[in-house]
Amino acid sequence: AGTVRWGHKVSGVRALGDGCHEVAFANGTAVTTSLLVGADGAWSRVRPLLSGATPEYTGVSFIETRLFDGDNRHPNRAKTVGGGTMMVLEPGKGILAHRERGGNLHTWVILARPRDWFADIDFTDRAAATAQIAQEFDGWVPELTALVTDGETAPVLRNIYTLPIEHRWDRTPGVTLLGDAAHLAAPNGEGANLALYDGAELGKAIAAHPDDIETALTEYERAMFVRSGASNAGAPDLHVMLGDNAPHDLINAFTGS
């Protein structure tokens, strides 16, 4: 009890010297710690203590919609998506869908467009936003466009940002990062896996050096930089998925040809 403090939005962090940091919360409270781990995602408040890197827009955005209990309530859509992940791509655009637990169908429209292009869509007007997005797929078969037009949730815009693959920092006493805070990449199927793995590896490093946190953080970061760099460099990137030769470049990436 009390180990996890819910409802504490971090408003700022600052170095106090000797590896100690103060973490201030939006509710006006603050704590001081000798070990600060930034696991706070793409827009990490902790990252600036270590590096000046900021996420950059990839030129691609996802728009998310969902259908629930596909097998019973939307059998034709469930059949279109199949048993796992479905991807339908052409240059600059695509429709992806996952079958998730309970037969829920999670769809992402992918569009390679500048951020300003999306600013013209009023996402608070669900019907108008859905129609505007569906229009981009004019002429596509209704089995696919229905994943968007029949969506049971309001479309949610997700601009996709990344950090440079070679993002690194010099060892700084008392603080480190994990997951997207450390190595934000465009969705490639590994981000959540890498974040969980980082957490486990950091825990093991601290358990191995309980009286020497700096050695633990040095060992953790050294392996993490190599692991995340190799994973993100080897993953098919969004421009491979949506490039002029789509969908063939992605097929070739899967088949190794």
Residues that bind ligand FAD (CB under 6 A): 9-10, 39-41, 45, 62, 108, 158, 179-181, 187, 189-193, 195
CB 173 within 8 A of CB 18: yes
State in angstroms the smallest separation of the CB of 60 from ligand FAD.
Answer: 10
Cα distance between the two ends of the chain: 54
Alpha-carbon gap, residue 231 to 219, rounded angstroms: 18
**What is the three-class DSSP state of 74?**
coil
The beta strand positions in 47-180, using DSSP E, are: 56-67, 85-90, 93-99, 105-112, 156-162, 175-177
Nearest to ligand FAD of 91, 189 (CB atom) = 189
Shortest spacing between CB 221 and ligand FAD, in angstroms: 15
How far are the Cα atoms of 76, 91, 190, 225, 226 from residue 230, in angstroms, in the given order?
A: 39, 26, 11, 8, 6
The span from the CA of 213 to the CA of 219, in Å, is 10
Specify the residue, 79 or 158, whose C-beta has the smaller distance to ligand FAD.
158
Minimum CB distance to ligand FAD smaller for 84 or for 210:
84
Mapping DSSP to helix (H, G, I), strand (E, B) and coil, where does residue 186 land?
A: coil
Of the pair 35, 39, the CB lying nearest ligand FAD is at 39
Closest distance between ligand FAD and the C-beta of residue 224, in Å?
12
Nearer to ligand FAD, 75 or 102 (CB): 102
Q: How far is the CB of 219 from ligand FAD (least distance, A)?
A: 20
Integer Cα distance of 22 and 16 in angstroms: 7
| Shortest distance in whole angstroms from residue 184 CB to ligand FAD | 7
Tokens (6 digits) for 254: 């899967």
Say whether the peptide bond before residue 210 is cis (omega within 30 degrees of 0): no
Taking residue 139's Cβ as centre, other Cβ atoms within 10 Å add up to: 5
CB of 236 to ligand FAD, least distance (A): 13
Nearest approach in angstroms of CB 143 to ligand FAD is: 22
Q: Which is nearer to ligand FAD, 166 or 212 (CB)?
A: 166
Considering beta carbons, is residue 165 or 209 the nearer one to ligand FAD? 165
